[in-house]
A and B are shown apart, each in its own frame.
Chain A
């Protein structure tokens, strides 16, 4: 199978959905002529023009608000918020409007809006361009939150997000854009809300997503040489969470480690871990372990930045502890 980057996979998904459905359009800061801060919308403007690939002013609230209004009246917008760190600027529109409109209006409208954004550390960009704020968003009923880790998942899930009649927050990772992976030429989609077992194993379950997924797989590969057989599950969607796949795995391994890049307190792992306590407690042979980001604003220094998020060695150490 051909291999393409995560960036190319996203670009293909956008291009194909815009070709397939004339109500799909993209809007955001620097997405048209420039092609997006990370190049995801490259060349779409040349192909579809100003009407359907729209550069916007630096006005995050209005970008999302316009997306909502257009979605309620027959369009299928894909808006880009350049960094997840800019989500606080438009959180009112996301949390109070996009997520709640259908429910507040008694199901009499839908908001088929995709909000693409990008997060995570790795480029030494400091505290305003490196956050992982997904936990804020999965606290909001009415949203779906998707975080792919591979090219294949990125393309299939973005297509599903665009076709979904609900608001979907689609969170990419800045360090994944250049990573290549197999993506078939032919059309496919991946359903939202389904986790993926990226590596089967029997000794311990690792639950992860986005870039930490890749770190977890690396760690699992190394641990395999030590005779420790790790099952690695890519959550892919954080809201709704695929508890069936999680439960099945924990029944088999009886141990679980959650690996996440976001800050630990009130983070994704807190929610996932508590759900496991509620639904899988009887199958657990050890306390749930979280390996998460440090509870600090992301520091600029590459040295500090690296130790502020989980590393492969941390995962190896914790797996050895829990399986010993």
Chain B
């Protein structure tokens, strides 16, 4: 595997930390009831979003999921505006009308998170059709979880994408659970990559806890897709550290299983690897941690101090 240079290593580590600290902060705000509603946290899965996004361009598209904070941050998201959005503030990236489940930023190519499992698979496929019709060289990464691979629109869309050779990477984040039901209790085959065989679509699985592995895998397939070869299906094996949402007691999984995955935590293993390879120093990684902590604190303060939308905003933005 190719090792990154210092600048790239810094960037990957920093972005993974941004997501982790962001999510830890959201959990804190939820427990203190400063954040209302719910949030599905991406902690544990950082290597997937960061690795994938480091392999595509600024003007490439993504579609995201109900667990979408990580995708939004990794797709050049404005952390202050994302934090404000989750608190429903006027300064949020969607003016406080979307929230955690609907983070979107079209100026960054993020076509949006989604409150409905699997629903963005069709949208991603349409964006890919649009790219092809406009004779553009963009690609789309369509993120979804293992649970979404049991939805009808997954099959409908992937069939069409393969048939029309659309430039889309279907990237399944297999974090082993659809809410509480394990993937093995919900889907009839153990190897999810086989699901794309029905569409004659190539697939590959990748270690979703290893940011460099994800980066290399997505880079290879993004090149393939960009050349007009049609879509592909990637399964990134990963784990979410928090429960499905804040009310989840995690009775469906064991402490041993959680430990197994936490021992492979990308924000711990990646800097160790970079220090061992002489790419980053211990001081540098500590400095990055400090920078990001500070950045998240500032974003939190910004979000908390931001105003809520005015009542007049209720009826704006419905129609053009």
Which chain A residues have a beta carbon within 8 Å of chain B's beta carbons?
Answer: 25, 51-52, 54, 56-57, 59, 61-62, 64-75, 77, 92-93, 96-97, 101-110, 141-142, 144, 165-166
Contacts and interface: CB of A to CB of B under 8 A. Distances in A.
B159 interface: yes
A162 to B, nearest CB: 14
B115 interface: yes
Given A74-B130, A102-B318, A110-B320, A59 B125 contact: no
Given A57-B159, A166-B319, A105 B104 contact: yes
Top 9 nearest A-B pairs (CB, nearest first) are A65-B122, A69-B126, A107-B317, A106-B95, A62-B156, A59-B156, A66-B126, A106-B94, A69-B123
A64 B105 CA distance: 22
B121 interface: yes
A72 B106 contact: yes
B296 interface: no
A74 to B, nearest CB: 6
A70 B126 contact: yes
A66 B133 CA distance: 13
B89 to A, nearest CB: 11
Interface in B79-114: 92-98, 102, 104-107, 111-112, 114
Contacts of B157: 59, 62, 65-66
A67 B106 CA distance: 17
For A54, A103, A106, A144, the residue with the greatest tally of chain B CB atoms inside 10 Å of its CB is: A106
Contacts of A92: 116, 119
A102 B317 CA distance: 6
B130 A61 contact: no
B290 interface: no
For B127, B128, B159, the residue with the greatest tally of chain A CB atoms inside 10 Å of its CB is: B127
B160 interface: yes
A52 B133 CA distance: 8
B126 A106 contact: no
B264 to A, nearest CB: 34
B194 to A, nearest CB: 21
* Interface size bracket, B side: 35 or more
A103 B318 CA distance: 5
B144 to A, nearest CB: 13
Contacts of A57: 156, 159-160, 163
Given A66-B122, A72-B111, A93-B119, A59 B130 contact: no
For A59, A67, A68, A105, the residue with the greatest tally of chain B CB atoms inside 10 Å of its CB is: A105
Contacts of A74: 130, 134
B43 interface: no
Nearest to B101: A104
Nearest to B127: A69
A105 B106 contact: yes
B9 interface: no
Nearest to B98: A104
B153 interface: yes
B98 A105 contact: yes
Contacts of B96: 106
A141 to B, nearest CB: 6
B98 A70 contact: no
Contacts of A61: 122, 152-153, 156
10 contacts: A65-B123, A65-B153, A69-B126, A70-B126, A70-B130, A73-B130, A102-B317, A102-B319, A105-B112, A106-B94
A56 B166 CA distance: 14
B12 to A, nearest CB: 28
A67 B160 CA distance: 13
B267 to A, nearest CB: 30
B124 interface: yes
Given A57-B156, A61-B153, A105 B102 contact: yes
B211 interface: no
B316 interface: yes
A59 B95 CA distance: 34
A290 B104 CA distance: 44
A142 B127 contact: no
Contacts of B134: 74-75
Contact of B122 (A68, A101, A106): A68
Contacts of A70: 126-127, 129-130, 133
A64 B106 CA distance: 20
A202 B253 CA distance: 73
Contacts of B95: 106-107
Given A68-B126, A69-B124, A103-B318, A108 B104 contact: yes
For A54, A93, A103, the residue with the greatest tally of chain B CB atoms inside 10 Å of its CB is: A103
B34 to A, nearest CB: 22
B104 A69 contact: no
B92 A106 contact: yes
A106 B130 contact: no
Given A97-B114, A105-B106, A141-B318, 19 more contacts: A54-B164, A59-B159, A59-B160, A62-B157, A64-B122, A65-B122, A65-B125, A69-B129, A70-B133, A73-B131, A75-B130, A93-B119, A93-B122, A101-B104, A106-B94, A106-B98, A108-B94, A109-B111, A166-B319
For B153, B159, B163, the residue with the greatest tally of chain A CB atoms inside 10 Å of its CB is: B153
